[in-house]
């Protein structure tokens, strides 16, 4: 699905970024920890005491928990870098029909997320504008401290990686923690429970809503770096787990071979996606992660000890091929597709 200007819905593609963004960026500063790339979501400045790192994320929708998910997403991006978020600045854009009651509900969601993640709300601003049709919440979270080895200068403008991460050195496996498509499922449920009640009993939907607790908290994820200081971690964002696999492969400069049946999915996600004819493997799941590690057994163990679901999906390969096995069937991973949550929302807004 594309707009009138030819760009598809959802996150801009790697090709579009390289063609239309990269060529326009000319500034530089040797204090920066990361350089811009199609996949980079964090920013950082080095200092004598360590560094200051921040990440931005947004969430759109009619659910009052929209701000909750925006904060979780941004904090998760920092955690994937090995940094604990300490503060969150939030900006809300409400459509012209937005109410003060709605604004208050969004603030409750933001505060709840920060409370769960042991963060401080450092700023909260909002505006009503005709520029949006649904509420959009922007969250910027920040933390300080020294980065794990794998995160230092990992992604520069040329997408280089430290020598310790080059392929061929050691056997590395891909671990999934959390559940594919879970965040998208929760957000769909939050916006369309009345529709879903035509198909599912209330008990099932209540159980699905409770799955918010299955999202991986940053403090749980940070245990990974105690077992493997050079692990490469990717949050499952726009485009779902298949897009995250592509991005992980691109940033680590490696191919892989995984088993599709090993991908962890909640049954509630499967059934809600079937109801709307959505592909859960292409749906955002902030609060879930992929981990490329040479210490898979130890990483899985430390995550399980922290109360997190973790499974080994497969292994990295020296060749560039990105292989997905499903029994006897073998296929190769395509470039990231548009996110299914965004596609679902676009269709609803047409109605």
CATH number, domain of 303, equals 3.90.650.10
Indicate whether 329 belongs to any domain: yes
Q: With bands split at pLDDT 50, 70 and 90, how would you rate the model's confidence at 286?
A: very high
The answer to the question of residue 99 being in a domain is yes
Range of the domain at 93: 19-147
Domain membership flag for residue 213? yes
pLDDT of 169 reads 57
Q: Are residues 214 and 296 in the same domain?
A: yes
Query: CA 163 to CA 154: how far, in whole Å?
Result: 10
Q: Report the run of H or E that residue 136 belongs to, with start and end.
A: strand 135-144
| Model pTM above 0.85 | yes
- The Cα diameter of the chain in Å comes to 59
Do 234 and 310 reside in the same domain of the chain? yes
CA 13 to chain centroid, in Å, comes to: 16
The 10s digit of each residue's pLDDT in 89-134 is 999 999 999 999 999 999 999 999 999 999 999 999 999 999 999 9
Tell me, yes or no, whether 5 lies in a domain.
no
The reply to whether 323 and 229 lie within a common domain is yes
User: What is the arithmetic mean of pLDDT over 313-342?
Assistant: 94
Nearest CA-CA partner of 344 in 188, 156, 231? 188
Task: Please give the pLDDT value at position 189.
Answer: 98
* Angle 127-59-81 from CA coordinates, rounded to 5°: 120
User: pLDDT averaged over the chain?
Assistant: 91
**What is the DSSP code (8-state) at residue 23?**
G
Predicted local confidence at residue 318, as pLDDT: 86
Boundary-marking domain end, from 79, 113, 147: 147
- Residues of the chain with pLDDT > 70, as a percent, come to 91
* Mean pLDDT confidence for 53-72: 96
- Is the pLDDT at 164 greater than 50? The verdict is no
Is residue 152 a part of any domain in this protein? no
Same domain, yes or no: 219 and 346? yes
Q: Give residue 59's pLDDT.
A: 97
Residue 153's pLDDT is: 45
Residues 172 and 317 in one domain: yes
Q: Same domain for 97 and 171?
A: no
Asked whether residue 23 falls in the same domain as residue 170, the answer is no
CATH number for the domain including 84? Answer: 3.30.1330.10
Q: Are 215 and 287 in contact (CB under 8 A)?
A: yes
- Please indicate, yes or no, whether residues 176 and 90 belong to a single structural domain of this protein: no
Instruction: Tell me the C-alpha distance between 306 and 300, whole Å.
Output: 10
Residues 184 and 106 in one domain: no
pLDDT the model gives residue 144: 85
pLDDT of 166 > 60? The answer is no
Write down which residue in 95, 118, 147 finishes a domain.
147
In a domain, 287, yes or no: yes
- Residue 330 pLDDT > 90: yes
Q: CB atoms < 10 A from the CB of 47, how many?
A: 10
In a domain, 1, yes or no: no
pLDDT at 157: 39
Into how many domains does the chain fold? 2
What pLDDT band is residue 290 in, cutting at 50, 70 and 90? very high
- Which of the pair, 273 or 145, is modelled with greater confidence? 273
Residue 49 is predicted with a pLDDT of: 74
d(CA 115, CA 109): 10
Same domain for 188 and 49?
Answer: no
Band (57; pLDDT cuts 50, 70, 90): very high
pLDDT tens figures, 195-217: 999 999 999 999 999 999 999 99
Indicate whether 194 pLDDT > 70: yes
Q: What is the pLDDT of residue 147?
A: 64
pLDDT band at 26 (very low <50, low <70, confident <90, very high): confident
Question: 154 in a domain, yes or no?
Answer: no
In this model, does residue 225 exceed pLDDT 50? yes
122 lies in the same domain as 172: no
Q: What is the pLDDT of residue 5?
A: 58
Statement to judge: residues 108 and 236 lie in one domain: no
Under the banding of pLDDT at 50, 70 and 90, the label for residue 161 is very low
pLDDT digits (tens, 9 = 90+) for 235-277: 999 999 999 999 999 999 999 999 999 999 999 999 999 999 9
């Amino acid at each position: 699905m594309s707009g009138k200007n030819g760009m598809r819905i959802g996150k801009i593609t790697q090709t579009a970024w390289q063609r239309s963004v990269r060529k326009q960026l000319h500034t530089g500063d040797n204090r920066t920890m990361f350089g811009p790339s199609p996949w980079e979501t964090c920013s950082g400045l080095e200092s004598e005491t360590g560094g200051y790192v921040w990440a931005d994320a947004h969430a759109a929708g009619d659910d009052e928990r929209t701000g909750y998910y925006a904060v979780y997403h941004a904090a998760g991006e920092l955690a994937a870098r090995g940094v604990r978020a300490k503060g969150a600045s939030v900006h809300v854009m409400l459509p012209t029909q937005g109410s003060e009651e709605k604004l208050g509900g969004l603030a409750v969601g933001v505060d709840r997320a920060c409370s769960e993640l042991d963060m401080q709300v450092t700023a909260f601003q909002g505006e009503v504008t005709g520029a949006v049709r649904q509420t959009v919440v922007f969250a910027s979270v920040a933390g300080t401290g020294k980065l794990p080895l794998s995160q230092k200068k990992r992604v520069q403008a040329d997408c280089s990686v430290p020598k310790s991460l080059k392929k061929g050195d050691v056997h590395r496996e891909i671990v999934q923690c959390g559940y594919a498509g879970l965040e998208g499922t929760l957000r769909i449920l939050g916006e369309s429970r009345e529709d879903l009640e035509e198909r599912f009993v209330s008990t099932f939907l209540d159980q699905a809503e409770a799955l918010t607790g299955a999202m991986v908290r940053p403090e749980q994820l940070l245990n990974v770096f105690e077992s493997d200081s050079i692990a490469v971690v990717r949050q499952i964002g726009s485009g779902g787990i298949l897009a995250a696999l592509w991005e992980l492969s691109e940033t680590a400069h490696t191919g892989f071979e995984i088993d599709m049946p090993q991908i962890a999915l909640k049954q509630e996600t499967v059934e809600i996606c079937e109801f709307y004819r959505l592909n859960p493997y292409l749906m955002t799941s902030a609060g879930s992660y992929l981990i490329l590690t040479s210490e898979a057994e130890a990483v899985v163990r430390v995550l399980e000890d922290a109360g997190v679901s973790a499974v080994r999906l497969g292994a990295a390969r020296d060749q560039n091929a990105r292989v997905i096995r499903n029994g006897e069937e073998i296929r190769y991973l395509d470039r990231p597709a548009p996110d299914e949550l965004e596609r679902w929302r676009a269709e609803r807004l047409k109605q």
